[in-house]
Amino acid sequence: MEQEIKRNIPRDLFLHLLAVVALYWSSISFTTLLWQFINYFFQDSLSPFYYESFAGYIRFAVSSLFIVFPVFIFTSWFLNKIYKKESEVRESKIRKWLIYFTLFVASLVIIGDLITVINIFLGGEIAIKFVLKSLAVLLVAGVIFGYYLDDVRRQTPTPLAKYFAWVSSALIVIVIVASFFIIGSPTTAKLMQIDQQRVNDLSSIQYQIVNYWQAKEKLPATLADLTDAISGFTAPTDPETKANYEYIIVDAEKLSFQLCATFSKESKSGQAEASYYYGNATSQVWSHTVGRVCFDRTIDKDLYPVNTKKAESQIVK
Q: How far apart are CA 154 and CA 138, in angstroms?
A: 25
pLDDT of residue 247: 96
Q: Which residues contact 258 (CB under 8 A, 6 or more apart)?
A: 246, 247, 248, 250, 294, 295, 296, 297
Contact 94, 87 (CB under 8 A): no
The mean pLDDT value of the chain amounts to 84
Q: How confident is the model at residue 312 (pLDDT cuts 50, 70, 90)?
A: low
Q: How far apart are CA 198 and CA 192, in angstroms?
A: 10
Contact 58, 36 (CB under 8 A): yes
pLDDT of residue 269: 59
Query: What average pLDDT does range 134-143 have in this prediction?
Result: 91
Q: In this predicted model, which residue has the larger pLDDT, 8 or 293?
A: 293
Report yes or no on whether pTM surpasses 0.85. no
pLDDT, tens digit, for every residue of 158-182? Answer: 677 788 889 999 999 999 999 988 8
Q: Which residues contact 172 (CB under 8 A, 6 or more apart)?
A: 26, 30, 65, 69
Contact 310, 215 (CB under 8 A): yes
Helix (H) or strand (E) holding 159: none
Q: How far apart are CA 274 and CA 199, in angstroms?
A: 6
Candidate from 57-71, 75-89, 276-290 with smallest mean pLDDT: 276-290
Q: How far apart are CA 172 and CA 316, in angstroms?
A: 69
Q: In this predicted model, which residue has the larger pLDDT, 204 or 5?
A: 204
Query: What average pLDDT does range 203-212 have in this prediction?
Result: 94
Helix (H) or strand (E) holding 219: none
Contact 303, 262 (CB under 8 A): no
Query: What average pLDDT does range 215-222 have in this prediction?
Result: 93
Output the CA torsion 285→286→289→292 (10° steps): 150
pLDDT, tens digit, for every residue of 15-43? Answer: 999 999 999 999 999 999 998 898 888 87
Q: How confident is the model at residue 281 (pLDDT cuts 50, 70, 90)?
A: very low
Which residue type does 275 have? S
Parse the chain into domains and list their residue ranges. 2-184, 188-316
Q: What is the largest CA-CA distance in the chain?
A: 96
Is the model's pLDDT at 119 over the cut of 90? no
In the chain, DSSP finds a helix count (H) and a strand count (E) of: 9, 3
